[in-house]
Amino acid sequence: MSVPSFAFLGYVALVGALLAVVRGARARTVVTVLANLGFIATMLATPATVVPFAIFVAAGFIAMRAGLRVRSRWFLPVVLSAAVLALFWLKRYPIFPGALTLRGDAFTVGASYVFFRIAHLIIDAGQESLEAPPSLLEYLAYTLDFTALVSGPIQLWQDYRKRTAPQPFPRGDEAWTALGRIVLGLFKVGVVSPILLDAHQRAIEALGASAGQPRGIIAAAAVAGIYPLALYANFSGYTDFVIGCARFVGHGLPENFNHPFVATGFIEFWSRWHMSLSSWLRRYVYTPSMLAAMRANPSPQLEPWYGVGAYLLTFSLVGVWHGPTSSFLFFGLLQGTGVAANKAFQNVMISRLGRRRWNDVAGNERVAALSRGLTYTWFAFTLLWFWSSWSSLGQLGGGLGWAQILAALAALFAVAVVTIAAVRALTRAGAELAAFASNYVDLRLVRASYFAALGLAVVSVAVMLDAPAPQIIYRAF
């Protein structure tokens, strides 16, 4: 079963209806677990293909329970290392001999996202900070949550417990809000993202046909600049869809995006992009790394620079998580470099200007506009190694000299500065217009009409193209 799809919506409606008539928290947990297993069953080639995945999940529960009892400084390093190796095995990283490689038809969907939940439980259990450890049923309901299995968002156990409603179906405005998120998500994934991905492919073809010509600069800028928008529409659309769906089965999933392209630096960008992943990494990699450095060599002068190293380590791991290829590893290194360079620049400017003057400079609208353009350009540049490979990039850029490549990046930067500023201005104008119109028009009716139009567009495109449910780019990770 694909997510998002109309079949998935039907499955959510069925599960929500069952939860609505079931009484008692334990009975609802049983229904949730069965719903999770039923969803996984729809994606299995044969029942045997889920065995490695099932062993991985079962081992996670055993490790969590052991963490509640074992008090050894070696427990967490050993168990987490084993869990990482198990994840790499499930994801078929080529670090294992051929005889030990996982079969190609084995079920691995959502393995990375399940790993983050399991690792969180193991770490918190080992550190004696796990609130109300889950029972086996609760563990299966949480780790295999079918609404977030495919591509997240990543949710901590404490958050899952607090945001699981006793009454599954939302009512009134809350129900309309959840339905609006579903429609918006389908529109982003099924309409906007395919259009942008098609434009991206056309830009690639144009670049190939204009190698060595001045217009190749424009094509190269388009190749780099369009893909971040396509990826955002695809992934944030998926997130909108599953957040809305989850609410109809009583779950409150965390937000994963918060207008990332208005970020004025790469640190801020990663607090707005794939927020559940960056939050997990900060909690379990960045903060422990900082604390370890400060314990090893306490120094107020060096503390800001420890942050540079911790950021480089933390966000370089993004590449390892995406895949074992050199392209993904370089992609991760560029992410870590971007965040670390942002932190280092802040350190230098604060030391020279003082924190107050630096805040004034950074808050200047012109400086902020340039910073937004630079942040977008760097992210677009890093994504070249996300969607492509070294050999493909060599073929694409083979006809471009360094001067043309730099000119393409400069053109992308200029377009990003102007476009983001224009979108922000239009957004502010729209908010002011809505505030004025609220005195004369029922905005709920306007919103309902807006989402109805989006829904009609989604259905029309699906019917006209007669295409399968749209694929989620991040499903591969």
Interval 106-127: pLDDT, tens: 999 999 999 999 999 999 999 9
pTM of the model as a whole: 0.94
Burial of 468 (0-12, 13-18, 19+ CB in 10 A): exposed
- Among the three residues 103, 136, 162, which one is the final residue of a domain in this structure? 162
> Is the domain of 39 the same as that of 85?
yes
> Is the domain of 13 the same as that of 150?
yes
Mean pLDDT of 124-147: 95
Least confident of 241-255, 311-325, 350-364, 439-453: 439-453
Helix (H, G, I), strand (E, B) or coil at 237: helix
At 250-277, the pLDDT tens digits run: 999 999 999 999 999 999 999 999 999 9
From the list 190, 223, 251, the residue with the least C-alpha distance to 32 is: 251
- Among the three residues 136, 162, 188, which one is the final residue of a domain in this structure? 162
Please give the Cα distance from 26 to 281 (Å, whole number): 32
> Is the domain of 425 the same as that of 349?
yes
Q: Is residue 167 a part of any domain in this protein?
A: no
Q: Is residue 203 a part of any domain in this protein?
A: yes
Phi first, then psi, for residue 164 (nearest 5°) are: -95, 115
Instruction: Give the model's pLDDT for residue 396.
Output: 84
Please give the Cα distance from 470 to 67 (Å, whole number): 40
b/e string for 223-244 if b means 16 or more Cβ within 10 A?
Answer: bbbbbbbbbbbbbbbbbbbbbb
Please give the Cα distance from 277 to 318 (Å, whole number): 9
> Is the domain of 100 the same as that of 10?
yes
Q: Is residue 168 a part of any domain in this protein?
A: no
> Is the domain of 78 the same as that of 153?
yes
| Residue 466 pLDDT exceeds 80 | no
Q: Which residue has the higher pLDDT, 293 or 171?
A: 293
Long-range pairs, 459-468, Cβ under 8 A, ≥24: 461/190, 461/191, 462/6, 462/190, 468/2
At 168-225, the pLDDT tens digits run: 677 778 888 899 999 999 999 999 999 999 999 999 999 988 766 778 899 999 999 9
Could you count the other beta carbons within 10 Å of the beta carbon of residue 363?
10
Instruction: Give the model's pLDDT for residue 331.
Output: 96
> Is the domain of 16 the same as that of 120?
yes
> Is the domain of 133 the same as that of 184?
no
Q: Is residue 357 a part of any domain in this protein?
A: yes
| Residue 424 pLDDT exceeds 70 | yes
Instruction: Give the model's pLDDT for residue 433.
Output: 85
> Is the domain of 199 the same as that of 104?
no
> Is the domain of 98 the same as that of 135?
yes
Please give the Cα distance from 297 to 416 (Å, whole number): 42
Please give the Cα distance from 249 to 14 (Å, whole number): 9
Least confident of 219-223, 335-339, 459-463: 459-463
| Residue 53 pLDDT exceeds 70 | yes
From the list 414, 409, 330, the residue with the least C-alpha distance to 369 is: 414
Q: Is residue 155 a part of any domain in this protein?
A: yes
Number of independent structural domains in the chain: 3
Domain carrying residue 333: 260-437
Dihedral-angle region of residue 110 (phi above 0 means left; psi in -120 to 50 means alpha; beta otherwise): left
Q: Is residue 65 a part of any domain in this protein?
A: yes
- Among the three residues 162, 195, 215, which one is the final residue of a domain in this structure? 162
Least confident of 154-163, 278-287, 393-402: 393-402
Angle 104-110-116 from CA coordinates, rounded to 5°: 125
> Is the domain of 82 the same as that of 106?
yes
Instruction: Give the model's pLDDT for residue 212.
Output: 67
Please give the Cα distance from 162 to 164 (Å, whole number): 6
Least confident of 125-139, 144-158, 338-352, 395-409: 395-409
Tokens of 115: 């790993």
Q: Which residue has the higher pLDDT, 374 or 440?
A: 374
Mean pLDDT of all residues in the chain? 91
> Is the domain of 299 the same as that of 429?
yes
Bridge partner residues of 251 (DSSP)? 164
Distance between first and last Cα of the chain: 17
| Residue 399 pLDDT exceeds 90 | no
Mean pLDDT of 450-470: 79
Q: Which residue has the higher pLDDT, 176 or 331?
A: 331
Task: Kindly report the length of the chain.
Answer: 477
Least confident of 20-24, 58-62, 101-105, 390-394: 101-105
Q: Is residue 76 a part of any domain in this protein?
A: yes
Tokens of 414: 């200029």
Sequence-distant (6+) residues with CB within 8 A of 368 are 264, 362
459: amino acid identity, one letter:
V
| Residue 103 pLDDT exceeds 90 | no
Could you count the other beta carbons within 10 Å of the beta carbon of residue 209?
12
Q: Is residue 1 a part of any domain in this protein?
A: no
Instruction: Give the model's pLDDT for residue 8.
Output: 95
> Is the domain of 282 the same as that of 412?
yes
